[in-house]
Structure 1
Amino acid sequence: MGISLRDCQYLFRDYYTQGKELVIDGSQLRCELASRYSMNQDVAGLLTEGGDIVILKPAGPGVATADKGNAELMLEYDGTLAADGYRLTIGEDAKLVLAAPNRRGLKYGLDALKRLLTVEEDCCRLPVVTVEDEPSFAVRGIIEGFYGVPWSFADRMDAVRYMGGHRMNAFMYAPKDDPYHRELWREPYPDDIFAGIHELKQECDKHLVDFYYCISPGNDLEFRSQGDFAKLEEKLGAMIAVGVRHFALLMDDIDYVLQGDNKQFLERSGTAHAYVTNRVYDYLAGCLPHFTLAMCPSEYWSYWDTEYKRDIREQLHPAVKVFWTGYFVFAPEIGRKHAEDNHGYYGHELWLWDNIPVNDCDKDRLFLDPVRGRSSRLGQLGHTAVVANPMNQWECSKITLTTMSHYMWNSERYMAELSWELSVREFAGELAEDMMFFCLQNLNSRLYSGGYPELDDALARRDLAWLDGYFNRLEQTAVRLGGLENAKFIEEAGPWLRRAIADAVLWRAVRRQLTDPLNPQAQAEVLQRLETCRSYGVRLGSDPAVHAAEALGIELPEEIKEETGND
């Protein structure tokens, strides 16, 4: 089955078709390549080797290629398109034209061609179409910026490959509990960790993802200390030596009230943070002809002007980008007024550090719903980047991140529920219906209070038959998802899948106590099943069995009421 017309019209910004189809004999689309993209033909690594699409490279100047293939592919340069954008034209005459302003645009255009191609019954089918596709934000990506156990390098490598396939272009290395990022920022990385970072940078290059090295020295940096700045430059210089050109200085989550010599030297924290950032900027400018520097201020959330923001606005180098998270650390909405106002207050390009779907403040929870509540016009309000801060559970984060990738690429057309459907289908395949039901039990209560109305309504009606069906479905869903061929998902989500089954078992014990409320054995079984649920150390957002027991009049121990509850 190919991609549907509805999905094409949603996933690609402009999709022009009159419903015609190009049908080509053969089990592969074999494209004879021509290029007007660049004189040096700098397209290495972008061209398909095998699979459903084969690019037949020219043999050389004046040399005919024996295999002409069954289609022609012309690459063209078009500098009028936004960076990373492309235009793909598929003609009835089997001539394909792909225009782009850069290599990423070429890659995304070729990825679009792969998505549009259907191979069946020894023939290739393509829509006759023109796709014009450009991003809403120049920088789109992931920041590994959460507290808790950092990702493994295997997770990071997979994240880079994932981003390359979802039109994201920035991976920001900023794990809060990597000691060499924050606590031991002066210390060089041990050889094995530095080798992992270098390999990660190379993987980013391979997939056309920019690697950002982030460092957080703000807790104990002495602003007058030449030795501290020498250590900071040494840390950055090691990254420059392995090809890093994108950096961020993070001054978030620190006690930013200046003390001692720091206060005597620079007086105010806004002045201090502009000062250190400008020194880093000057250092990078002396080392690199082209680079990016962003900074995360200590006042990274809020929606009002302050002296701190004024100092950043007036003193920070104009080329430095500034992060914020919205009007709160976990902002349920980021609307036009707050976005526009804060852009003015900081006076710099704003980069949205979106704390979605991060769960470091809710470690017993998974967040599996789509991004919601972000202005469709954020890219027109001084914002040039959106980066998502995922969960400690990388694989589970993909469900929300795929919806975020849709928003990052085309915020003007973003529809949360449709993106959620597409993301779950991509993630779970034939088990998409079960996965969606599981996702619906794990909503991000910090950002969305839509809750669990069907469960609440059934409890209000005391509809025990409906509740029986609900908990049976919850158990069956968890069992089926436990059979997915995604070992990483099973590893990460396993505690929540087991908790879902335990909730179903608890419900049946609750049912028996409701039938025979004075039976001490039934009461004891409920307490036993409650302890089993607690033993997993995690909970579903709906907390269905405990919520049901309370709503139906079952008396629970006080510690259960304190530790659990409906979100």
Structure 2
Amino acid sequence: MTVELGVIEGFYGPMWSWAERRKLLKTLAKHGYGFYLYAPKADPYLRRRWQEPHPAAEFAALADFAELCEHEGVRFGVGLSPFEIFNRFDESARHALAAKLKALDRIGVQELAILFDDMRSETPSLASTQAEIMRWVKAHSAAAMFSICPTYYSDDPVLDRVFGERPSDYLETLGAELDKDVRVFWTGEEVCSREISPGHLKHVGDRLGRKPVLWDNYPVNDGDRMSQHLHLRGFTGRPAANAAHIAGHGINPALQPTLSTVPAITLAESYRLGPDYQYGHSLRHAAREALGLDLADQILTDLLVLQDAGLGRIGEEKRANLENVYGAFSHPAAEEILRWLRGGYQVTDEMVATQ
């Protein structure tokens, strides 16, 4: 059984360039990735300042990217996070939201996702209010497909600690009151799940009354702790049997766009090969395809340092040696490693709290 794969650009931290997005899109489209959701937390005009229009140059670039997606046969979507709108969905909020939806219609957004993740609620009937907002959005948008990220998008208790205790039967109420064609994102038993099993996904689908769309927080490496590490290894803990219980599988990529293509290719292979998938073998194959033989082999040699040890455990001598090694390569992936070694991808707690 196959499943629709996609990219959900939903991380905190420094933004990608449009050239980086275009290159990643073209690479992954060749491997069967069928949708792209533009939703970086650092785009203020989709989150904290969502009521304001994008600057003209950024709006034009977004429209150009939508055209590229269409050319590549990839469904283009935008993830809009109208920040804490569920706490006061009044006439003023509706007016601002209508203006934003009209602007997104002009781009030709095919999928519109309303993202309620990482926000604090002051609303007693949270699920019902969010379902009401989605119905209103559907009535005022020309998009062909609609998705939602719940405030509680995982069973992980960290969400309750940070954003307040979830209402009882939140997921069941949301699933019952949403239109049946609205897709619902889910990250698994954890925000960054080590493993995602068919049994868990079936259980979530039963609670929602629909198959969830998996928002997979690998290889994403945002946050103070994770940005210290490069996430390069092939996908594990996502058996191909999950396909029977999900409506799609989107990956939240790493801060490093070129390096992100390596694990992304292994996910496509894991579904294609099913029980014959070998993550180590697939990693070597994907790395050599995406990076070239020499750079791939060098990264695989340094994998324990780059992914497991991380910046905090690399001494100055080792760091200098790695800079010399990767400085000898003329490749965007090597440039990403150099930038990472020099702290250019560090994501602070303040960035997460304010983006």
Q: Same fold (TM over 0.5)?
A: yes
* Residues in 1 aligned to 2:344 and 2:104: alpha-carbon distance in whole angstroms: 39
Considering only aligned residues, what root-mean-square deviation do their CA atoms show, in Å?
2.7
Deviations 1:308-366 (A, max 9, x none): 11211211111101001010011000112211111111112310000111111222221
* Post-superposition offset of 1:172: 0.5
* Residues in 2 aligned to 1:428 and 1:197: alpha-carbon distance in whole angstroms: 27
Matched pairs, number: 327
Output the amino acid matched with 2:61.
G
1:300 is aligned, of 138, 150, 153, to 153
Query: Is 1:271 the counterpart of 2:135 in the alignment?
Result: no
Which has the greater radius of gyration? 1
2:213 is aligned, of 351, 354, 359, to 351
Normalising to structure 1: TM-score of the pair? Answer: 0.54
Query: Is 1:423 the counterpart of 2:286 in the alignment?
Result: yes
* Residues in 2 aligned to 1:480 and 1:445: alpha-carbon distance in whole angstroms: 18
| Cα distance change, pair 410–400 in 1 and its aligned pair in 2 (3 A) | same
SS of match in other structure, 2:193: coil
* Post-superposition offset of 1:418: 2.0
Output the amino acid matched with 2:139.
D
| Cα distance change, pair 444–238 in 1 and its aligned pair in 2 (3 A) | farther
| Cα distance change, pair 428–151 in 1 and its aligned pair in 2 (3 A) | closer
SS of match in other structure, 2:328: coil
Query: Is 1:372 the counterpart of 2:236 in the alignment?
Result: yes
Deviations 1:256-297 (A, max 9, x none): 232xxxxxxxx411111111112112333xx46xx1111000
* Post-superposition offset of 1:251: 0.5
- Map of 1:404 onto structure 2: 267
* Post-superposition offset of 1:411: 4.6
* Residues in 2 aligned to 1:145 and 1:294: alpha-carbon distance in whole angstroms: 14
| Cα distance change, pair 405–484 in 1 and its aligned pair in 2 (3 A) | farther
2:334 is aligned, of 482, 486, 490, to 490
- Map of 2:178 onto structure 1: 316
* Residues in 2 aligned to 1:214 and 1:256: alpha-carbon distance in whole angstroms: 19
* Residues in 2 aligned to 1:478 and 1:299: alpha-carbon distance in whole angstroms: 41
Output the amino acid matched with 1:358.
V
| Cα distance change, pair 307–221 in 1 and its aligned pair in 2 (3 A) | closer
Output the amino acid matched with 1:301.
S
| Cα distance change, pair 345–411 in 1 and its aligned pair in 2 (3 A) | farther
| Cα distance change, pair 429–154 in 1 and its aligned pair in 2 (3 A) | closer
Output the amino acid matched with 2:151.
S
Output the amino acid matched with 1:401.
A
Output the amino acid matched with 2:232.
L
* Post-superposition offset of 1:224: 4.1
* Post-superposition offset of 1:441: 2.6
* Residues in 2 aligned to 1:321 and 1:371: alpha-carbon distance in whole angstroms: 24
* Post-superposition offset of 1:426: 1.0
* Post-superposition offset of 1:302: 0.8
Higher relative contact order at CA 8 Å, sep ≥6: structure 1 or structure 2? 2
Query: Is 1:442 the counterpart of 2:275 in the alignment?
Result: no
* Residues in 2 aligned to 1:444 and 1:225: alpha-carbon distance in whole angstroms: 48
| Cα distance change, pair 444–230 in 1 and its aligned pair in 2 (3 A) | farther
SS of match in other structure, 1:230: helix
- Map of 2:17 onto structure 1: 152
- Map of 1:384 onto structure 2: 247
* Post-superposition offset of 1:243: 2.1
* Post-superposition offset of 1:145: 0.3
Q: Is the 8 A contact 1:370 1:399 kept in 2?
A: yes
| Cα distance change, pair 239–210 in 1 and its aligned pair in 2 (3 A) | same
1:161-560 matches, within 5 Å, as: 161-221=26-86, 223-258=88-123, 267-284=124-141, 287=142, 291-302=144-155, 306-361=168-223, 362-381=226-245, 383-409=246-272, 411=274, 413-431=276-294, 432-443=296-307, 479-486=324-331, 488-495=332-339, 536-537=342-343
1:84-163 matches, within 5 Å, as: 136-137=2-3, 139-163=4-28
Q: Is the 8 A contact 2:239 2:270 kept in 1?
A: no
* Residues in 2 aligned to 1:190 and 1:441: alpha-carbon distance in whole angstroms: 41
* Residues in 2 aligned to 1:277 and 1:493: alpha-carbon distance in whole angstroms: 41
* Residues in 2 aligned to 1:154 and 1:236: alpha-carbon distance in whole angstroms: 26
* Post-superposition offset of 1:218: 3.9
SS of match in other structure, 2:147: strand
Output the amino acid matched with 1:336.
P
* Residues in 2 aligned to 1:230 and 1:410: alpha-carbon distance in whole angstroms: 49
* Residues in 2 aligned to 1:386 and 1:369: alpha-carbon distance in whole angstroms: 18
Gaps of 5+ in 2: 158-166, 311-316, 346-355
Q: Is the 8 A contact 1:359 1:392 kept in 2?
A: yes
1:39-50 matches, within 5 Å, as: none
* Residues in 2 aligned to 1:274 and 1:227: alpha-carbon distance in whole angstroms: 19
| Cα distance change, pair 412–164 in 1 and its aligned pair in 2 (3 A) | same
* Residues in 2 aligned to 1:399 and 1:190: alpha-carbon distance in whole angstroms: 33
Normalising to structure 2: TM-score of the pair? Answer: 0.84
Structure with the larger strand share: 1
Q: Is the 8 A contact 1:365 1:538 kept in 2?
A: no
Gaps of 5+ in 1: 1-134, 259-266, 447-470, 500-535, 540-567
